Structure 1
Amino acid sequence: MFSFKSLSLFATVSALVASAHAESHTVIFDNRCGFGTPTLIQGPNVLGTGNGPFNFGGPLISAIAYLQTGGCGFNGEGCTLIETTLRNPTSPGSGSSTDISLIPPHAFSVTSGFGYFNGCDGAGADCTNPNCPTAFFNPDQTDRQVACQADNVNLAITFCD
C-alpha cells in the first residue's frame, strides 16, 4: 500500500537524486603575472575577482573574464578578453563555448589562455601576442570559438603563462 509517508520519502529521495545531477560549473583563474586582478563579469555584475574557484549552480551565460591591470574598462575594454558560456547541452551543438576576443575596443594586454576540465580536457586556446591567431579580431571569425559538449564542464583561465 502506498501511503503519504511513502510519498514523502519518495519525494525526498527524488529531490536528493535530482540535486546530485543538477547542472554546475566552476571557473578558476591562474594569474602568473605577479600583478593585476582576475575579473569575472556577467552583464552589469562582477561575479568574482581573484583566483577563485567560482562555482555556479546552473549555467553561466555570456560571461567575460580579463586581468584588470588598471587600464581595463569595466567590460574589459583595452585588454585581452575571454568570453564564455558554460552550459550543459540540450541538443547537439548547444553546450559550452569559450573564446578570446581582441575585437576593438579590446586589445592585447597580457598573455591569456583558457582550457576546459572535467570534460573536453585539452580543449582551449592561448593568446601570446597582439597577432594571436586564436583570437577574434572581428565578429565573423566564429571558427575561433572552442566548443565543449560535456555536462558540468569547468573552465581554467590563465594569465602570463
Structure 2
Amino acid sequence: MSTKMFAAVVSALSALALVAAETHTVNFYNKCGYGTPVLRSQSGDVLSQGESYTSDGALDGAIAYLQTGGCGDNGESCTLVEVTLTNGWSSADISLISPHEFSVASGFGYWNGCDDSGTDCSSADCNEAFHDSDDTTVQVGCSADDVNLAITFCD
C-alpha cells in the first residue's frame, strides 16, 4: 500500500471515529419551586447544579437528587436517581435504599432513543423505586446509542 493510500485510509478511519464519538446529555426539570438539582459523578465530583450536563463519552454511575438543604453530599436522606449512560446499554433507576429516603416526587425519561421509557416515584412506598438491593426489576434500561435523560422533580 502506498504512503498516500495509507494516509487516506487513516484519515477516513479517524473521521469515522469522530462521527461515532459517544455523547449523552442529562437535563433537569425542577417543578418544586425550591431546591437545586445536583448531578454527581461516581467519584463525588459535582457535574451540574441544575444546568444541563453533557458528557463526551459514557456517564458511568452518576447520581442525581434535589438538594433541599436536608440532603447529604451523596443524596443521603433524599430521593436518589442513579444513572449510567453508555452506548449499547444505559440504565437508570430511583433509589430509596437507606440512607436514601423519599424527599420529593422524582422521575426520569430517556430521549433521543427509548423515548417512551422511564419511571416516576411520587411516594415513599412507590413500587417503581429500589427499596432494597434485590429490587433489580425497577431499573429502566435503554440500548440506544447517544441516549439522553431528563430528570424531573415534583412532577
**Shared topology, TM-score over 0.5?**
yes
For the pair 1:121 / 2:115, whether they are aligned, the reply is yes
Of all paired residues, the percent bearing the same amino acid is: 55
Partner of 1:92: none
For 2:13 and 2:36, locate their aligned partners in 1 and report how far apart those are by CA, in whole Å.
Answer: 42
Is 1:160 equivalent to 2:154 in the alignment?
A: yes
Q: 2:103 aligns with which of 109, 116, 122?
A: 109
Give, in angstroms, the shift of residue 101 of structure 1: 0.3
Quote the Cα distance in structure 1 between the aligned partners of 2:117 and 2:85.
14
- Equivalent residue pairs, number: 154
Stretch moving more, 2-11 or 16-25: 2-11
For residues 75-86 of structure 1, what are the structure 2 equivalents within 5 Å? 75-86=74-85
Return the offset for 1:46. Answer: 1.1
Kept after mapping to 2: 8 A contact 1:31/1:51:
no
Aligned to 2:66: 67
TM-score with structure 1 setting the length: 0.90
**Unmatched runs of 5 consecutive residues or more in structure 1:** 90-94
Q: CA deviation at 1:14?
A: 2.1
TM-score (norm: length of structure 2):
0.93
Which residue is 1:48 aligned to?
Answer: 48
Q: Which runs of 5+ in 2 are unaligned?
A: none
Q: Distance in 1 between matches of 2:25 and 2:11?
A: 27
Instruction: Using the TM superposition, give the Cα deviation of residue 105 of structure 1 relative to its aligned residue in structure 2, in angstroms.
Output: 0.8
Residue 3 of structure 1, CA deviation: 4.2
> Is 1:132 equivalent to 2:135 in the alignment?
no
Distance in 2 separating the partners of 1:86 and 1:106: 22
What corresponds to 1:34 in structure 2? 33
- What corresponds to 2:21 in structure 1? 22
Alpha-carbon distance, 1:7 to partner: 3.2
CA distance in 1, matches of 2:55, 2:15: 18
Displacement of 1:9 in angstroms is 3.7
Give secondary structure in 1 for the equivalent of 2:6: helix
Secondary structure in structure 2 of the residue aligned to 1:16: helix
How far did residue 6 of structure 1 move? 4.1
CA distance in 1, matches of 2:39, 2:57: 16
